Structure formats: C-alpha cells, structure tokens
C-alpha cells in the first residue's frame, strides 16, 4: 500500500475541512492533507445563488442518503442529501447565514464545555464573516465569507413583514444581532452575486500553497492506530488504497453522519455494536453515533393569485434572460436564492425566547425541493427551533461503502409535536392578515379541512420533511456519553480530533453551516495552541 506523509490529515472537505485546511496550512511548516470523497466545486450552478433550484431538483452534488423509517412520521423514509463536493453543504445549501441563539452556546458552556459560551465564540463568528450591512459588535467585515442582507423588495417578502406587524409581532433589523425576536430580513452567504461557500472563501484562495494537498474522489476507509494513538487514514482513490500518515493529528470533519460511521468502522464506538459487525475494538466509546438531532420542517402553502413566484423563471425565455443578466451583471434572479425574510416566534407567550423558526419561500416546492408545483404560490417553512427528539447513527455493515442507518427519531416528544402544531397555526394566522389579501389564493396545505390538534398532527406525520441540520453524534462534554472534550479531542485516544457538527452538544436554534464554520475557526486556534480571540 502506497503511503503519504503529512502533519495533519483532515477527512472531509465540507465547511469545517475547508476552513481547517486554510488555517493549518497558513504555517508553511505544517504539511496538510485534505481528503474529500466528492468532487470539485467548479459548476456554474454552485457559484450562482439562483442555481439552488436546479441543484435541489437534480441532486447532482449530493450523496442521496435516506433515513430509517420514522415511527413518529407514519414510518416514512425521508430524503437526507449530503454535500458530495468541496465545500460540502455550503456548496449546495440555501445560503442562509444563521447563528442560532446566544443561549445555545451558553448552554454548551453551562454543560461543562469551558470556552464555548456565546461571548467566547462571538469573536470567531465575527472572524469568519465580511458583513456588508454593518460593522458592529455583532458582525465582522474582514472575514473570508461574504455575507449580505437579502433584499426585501419582492411583494411576497413585503407582505410577510407587514403581516407579522399586523399580527402583533415585532420587527428586528438583525436576526443575527442582539435579539432574535420577531420578523426580519435573512442574511445570506452571498457576495458580488456569487455563493460564498467554504470552498470558494477558504480553500480556493490557498490551493497553490506547496504544503497543502487536496484530494477529491478520495474515500476514507479507516483510521489507523498505534495503540491508542491515531496515526493516519486508509483511503481509496481511483480503485487503489493508500495510507496517509499523520505525524501530528488526524482530524475528522466528515460530518454528523460519516464521522461516527468512520469512527465505528475504525473500532471506536459502542463495544457491543462493533462486535455485532465483527469489528475489532480499539476503544469502547458508547456515545459515538448517539444523540442525533435534526430540524424537521412542516409547511403551510398557499396558491398565489399573482404570477410572482419563482415558477416564472422556469419559462425558457425568462430563464435565458435571467442567465444573460447574471453572466453580464451578476444580478437578477440567478443572483438571488429566493429566500429573503424569516421570523422567530413563540409557541407560548410565556416563553423567554422564541421556539419556532419560520422562513418564507417564494415558490411551491415539494419533495425537499426536487419538485415544483405548476402553479404560483408561497409557503412558510416551519421548524421547531430546538427540538428535544434524539436519534442515532449506527452501522448497517462493516463495509465502508454501505450507508449507515440514520434514525433521527423525529417528532418523538409531546413538546416537539405541540410546538410544530402551534407553528402551523401561527403561519396560518400570519397569512390571514390583510397584507396578503392582494395575493392570497386557496390554502393548499394543510388545507382548510385540517383544524383540530389531531388533524394537524396527522398532516405533520404524513408530510413533514427533513431539514438537513443534523448534529450531535460525537458530542462534546465530560459525561459518559460524550465523545470529545472541550478541545474537540476524542476521549481516551491521542492525536485524534473531531471538528464538525457532530460535536455540538445539542442542535442550535437555526441553520448549522455557520455554527460549523465557527467551530472550525475555534478548532484551528486550539490545534495550533493559540489563545482565545478578543
């Protein structure tokens, strides 16, 4: 087996992997290898924000994972695409810049993870962004990721903001600022009309560094150990197996699904489960693969009486004009992912913070964006911001090419069901305001016949979809089910770290790409033994 020698071997070229490759290779004495199982991110569809629609509909840049049958969702199997390209999810997602709540990170710290309170991670959020709207205590303007505030001129967006005020909710000028309460504009990882993925922002500018090697179509098979010390990664590329040796550290950034899978394939995980698959035990770590969380999405959909939705751009002539406008001016519909306003609201007025997130979508998508209804419309995309339900990632086989068993255990608690039900009712109340009178047609989903708690619950069980924000399968902590410590080192092992969404103690109340970017920025300082940022 051919072997290659490096100081750091990073598994996974998604958000965290691209950032670590940049930061660690900034020291010319560090030899860094980044392994990505997917391909390069050279498609024009990835660069154009409006390319989101064909990306979703084609699935061309995603691993087509599916969930285990979800017992609280009528035993349905849900679609769970994962980025199959440099940049990972940041190359194929909806480009929503979302940090979650300040209290999310304070809860991480309160659980014993010193250094992870919001005050301590805010400098890393500021470090990673170049925010065009303002430079203030909440935002930075010198970071690699371009962030812009979405325009709100679209009549659907205007109506949504007005309807929120009519329904008695506050307006906020920054959903990622001091307070996360009410209705406001979405921030986007977009700059100069182009998607700002982790690959384009962090990796592409440094690809020519002589001490950085990036290999695509490289499928990691196993972490190698000398006793309890991780020494490298066996990977397959073009049919040949190779060994990448790591003189300093192996860093797993393969994501919430594949990081625990790779750990277990390598003999690190629940001993009994590994024995079931005939895998030799390196270290019994019962929390590997456990604690999986994800956002579940329900929808309240309306037909529009006006032809204003994104459907109009599927017309060949309009589509060609939009492409020409984008190529010449970097403007128009292809410079816009089509999501510009959102809100955070409470299922119960007595709560200290909102527990429902709602995003307005200006088209009638179905099947997780793979289909668009042949009519104009809009809908609310509704999440329980911080669900209680937890599931697991387990092995289906000792074969590294076999997908793992992904069971989010969605909608498992009474509280999750109650909050989602209230989210449906609140969305209906918003769309019933006079601001939507000019454009509101019939309610397509759930449909006016669905009114009682039982009927709404049945609708959610039958139609809710995964939202691709999986976390917490190698979570940070010091309890028996924790997998990594507060420096992201795997408990009981040496020279092995995890840096991705799997380390989150719980799912933040927002999208996960930007929290993962923050984790990677902080991890780079931890790995290079730099002090906390001020």
Tokens of 297: 């999405």
Same domain, 451 and 477: no
Same domain, 459 and 472: no
Same domain, 337 and 476: no
pLDDT for position 132: 78
- Closest by Cα among 14, 84, 395 to 222: 395
Residue 281 lies in a domain: yes
* R_g over Cα of the chain: 22
Same domain, 243 and 170: no
Q: Which residues are registered as beta bridge partners of 380?
A: 300, 360
Longest dimension (CA), the chain: 69
Evaluate whether 214 touches 481 at the Cβ level (below 8 Å): no
For the cut 90, the answer to whether the pLDDT of residue 370 exceeds it is no
Helix (H, G, I), strand (E, B) or coil at 110: helix
pLDDT for position 534: 38
- Closest by Cα among 53, 160, 156, 163 to 377: 156
Evaluate whether 412 touches 331 at the Cβ level (below 8 Å): no
Angle at 338 between CA 337 and CA 343, to 5 degrees: 110
Residue 19 lies in a domain: yes
Banded model confidence at residue 339, pLDDT cuts 50, 70, 90: confident
DSSP code of 495? S
Q: What is the pLDDT of residues 469-512, one digit of tens each?
A: 999 999 999 999 999 999 999 999 999 999 999 999 999 999 99
Tally of domains in the chain: 2
Residue 487 lies in a domain: yes
Please, where are the H alpha helices in 396-452?
414-431
Angle at 376 between CA 372 and CA 380, to 5 degrees: 75
* Average pLDDT, integer, range 331-341: 76
Q: What is the pLDDT of residues 183-208, one digit of tens each?
A: 999 999 999 889 999 999 999 999 99
Angle at 131 between CA 130 and CA 134, to 5 degrees: 135
CATH code (residue 353) = 3.30.410.40
Same domain, 2 and 112: yes
Tokens of 420: 């989602």
For the cut 70, the answer to whether the pLDDT of residue 312 exceeds it is no
- Closest by Cα among 304, 299, 298 to 442: 304
Please, where are the H alpha helices in 76-202?
102-110, 118-128, 155-166, 198
Residue of 163 and 365 predicted with greater confidence = 163
Share of the chain above pLDDT 70, in %: 95
| Count of beta carbons in the 10 Å neighbourhood of residue 479 | 10
Helix (H, G, I), strand (E, B) or coil at 452: coil
Mean pLDDT of the chain: 94
pLDDT for position 533: 46
Q: Which residues are registered as beta bridge partners of 131?
A: 147
Handedness of CA 245, 249, 254, 259 (dihedral sign): positive
Same domain, 89 and 132: yes
Sheet containing 129-131: which strands, arranged edge to edge? 96-97, 187-188, 145-149, 129-131
Q: Which residues contact 445 (CB under 8 A, 6 or more apart)?
A: 299, 300, 301, 379, 459, 463
Determine how β-strand 2-11 pairs with β-strand 32-35: parallel
Tell me the residue range of the domain where 353 lies: 151-185+296-384+414-463
pLDDT for position 14: 98
| Active site amino acids | 469
Share of the chain above pLDDT 90, in %: 84
Tokens 């690190």 — which residue? Answer: 268
Q: What is the pLDDT of residues 232-241, one digit of tens each?
A: 999 999 999 9
pLDDT for position 134: 63
Tokens of 56: 């979703």
For the cut 90, the answer to whether the pLDDT of residue 96 exceeds it is yes
Tokens 């924790």 — which residue? Answer: 482
pTM of the predicted protein model:
0.95
- Closest by Cα among 378, 125, 407, 358 to 257: 407
Same domain, 160 and 261: no
Tokens 């991780």 — which residue? Answer: 230
CATH code (residue 45) = 3.50.50.60
pLDDT for position 326: 74
Residue 302 lies in a domain: yes
Q: What is the pLDDT of residues 21-74, one digit of tens each?
A: 999 999 999 999 999 999 999 998 899 888 887 888 888 899 999 999 999 999
Q: How far apart, in whole angstroms, are the C-alpha atoms of residue 200 and residue 188?
A: 15
Same domain, 348 and 223: no
Q: What is the pLDDT of residues 424-445, one digit of tens each?
A: 999 999 999 999 999 999 999 9
Same domain, 451 and 368: yes
For the cut 80, the answer to whether the pLDDT of residue 3 exceeds it is yes
Q: How many helices (H) and strands (E) does the chain have?
A: 13, 29
Evaluate whether 247 touches 226 at the Cβ level (below 8 Å): no
Evaluate whether 464 touches 297 at the Cβ level (below 8 Å): yes
Is the peptide bond between 446 and the residue preceding it cis, with omega within 30 degrees of 0?
yes
Residue 399 lies in a domain: no
Q: What is the pLDDT of residues 235-261, one digit of tens each?
A: 999 999 999 999 999 999 999 999 999
Q: How far apart, in whole angstroms, are the C-alpha atoms of residue 517 and residue 531?
A: 18
Residue 504 lies in a domain: yes
For the cut 90, the answer to whether the pLDDT of residue 322 exceeds it is no
pLDDT for position 199: 98
Residue 402 lies in a domain: no
Q: What is the pLDDT of residues 131-166, one digit of tens each?
A: 976 668 899 999 999 999 998 889 999 999 999 999
**Burial annotation 289-326 (CB, 10 A radius, 16+ → b, else e):** bbbbbbbbbbbbbbbbeeebbbbebeeeeebeebbeeb
Q: How far apart, in whole angstroms, are the C-alpha atoms of residue 183 and residue 433?
A: 14
Q: Which residues contact 111 (CB under 8 A, 6 or more apart)?
A: 477, 505
pLDDT for position 309: 81
């Amino acid at each position: 087996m051919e072997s290659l020698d490096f100081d750091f071997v990073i598994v996974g070229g998604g958000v965290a992997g691209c950032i670590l490759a940049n930061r660690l290779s900034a020291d010319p004495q560090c030899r860094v290898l980044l392994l990505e199982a997917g391909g390069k991110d050279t498609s024009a569809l990835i660069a154009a924000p409006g390319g989101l629609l064909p990306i979703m509909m084609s699935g061309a840049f995603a691993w087509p994972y599916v969930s285990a049958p979800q017992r609280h969702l009528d035993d349905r199997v849900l679609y769970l695409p994962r980025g199959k390209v440099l940049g990972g999810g940041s190359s194929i997602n909806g480009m929503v810049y979302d940090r979650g709540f300040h209290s999310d990170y304070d809860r991480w710290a309160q659980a014993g993870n010193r250094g992870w309170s919001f005050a301590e991670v805010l400098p890393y959020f500021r470090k990673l962004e170049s925010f065009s709207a303002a430079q203030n205590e909440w935002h930075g303007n010198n970071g690699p990721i371009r962030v812009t505030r979405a325009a709100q001129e679209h009549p659907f967006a205007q109506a949504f903001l007005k309807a929120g005020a009519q329904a008695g909710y506050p307006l906020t000028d920054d959903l990622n600022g001091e307070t996360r309460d009410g209705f406001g504009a979405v921030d986007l990882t977009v700059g100069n009309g182009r998607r700002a993925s982790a690959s384009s922002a962090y990796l592409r500018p440094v690809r020519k560094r002589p001490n950085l090697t990036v290999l695509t179509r490289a499928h990691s098979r196993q972490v190698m150990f000398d006793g309890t010390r991780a020494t490298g990664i066996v990977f397959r590329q073009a049919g040949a197996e190779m060994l990448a040796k790591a003189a300093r550290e192996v860093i797993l950034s393969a994501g919430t699904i594949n990081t625990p899978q790779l750990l277990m394939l390598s003999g690190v995980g629940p001993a009994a489960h590994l024995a079931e698959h005939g895998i030799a035990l390196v270290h019994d770590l019962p929390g590997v693969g456990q604690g999986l969380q994800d956002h579940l999405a329900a929808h309240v959909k309306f037909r529009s009486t006006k032809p204003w939705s994104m459907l109009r751009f599927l017309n060949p002539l309009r589509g060609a004009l939009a492409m020409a406008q984008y190529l010449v001016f970097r403007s128009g519909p292809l410079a816009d992912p089509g999501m510009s306003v959102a809100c955070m609201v409470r299922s119960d007025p007595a709560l200290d913070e909102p527990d429902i997130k709602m995003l307005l979508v200006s088209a009638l998508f179905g099947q997780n964006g793979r289909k668009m209804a042949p009519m104009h419309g809009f809908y609310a995309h509704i999440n329980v911001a911080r669900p209680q339900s937890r599931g697991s990632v387990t092995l289906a086989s000792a074969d590294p090419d076999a997908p793992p068993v992904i069971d989010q255990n969605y909608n498992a608690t009474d509280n999750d069901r109650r909050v989602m039900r209230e989210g449906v009712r609140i969305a209906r109340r918003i769309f019933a305001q006079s601001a939507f009178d000019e454009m509101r047609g019939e309610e397509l989903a759930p449909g006016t016949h669905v009114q009682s708690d039982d009927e709404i619950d049945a609708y959610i069980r039958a139609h809710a979809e995964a939202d691709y924000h999986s976390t917490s399968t190698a979570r940070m902590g010091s309890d028996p089910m924790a997998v990594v410590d507060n420096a992201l080192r795997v408990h009981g092992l040496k020279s092995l770290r995890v840096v991705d969404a799997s380390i989150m103690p719980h799912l933040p109340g927002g999208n996960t790409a930007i929290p993962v970017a923050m984790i990677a920025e902080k991890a780079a300082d931890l790995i290079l033994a730099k002090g906390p940022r001020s």
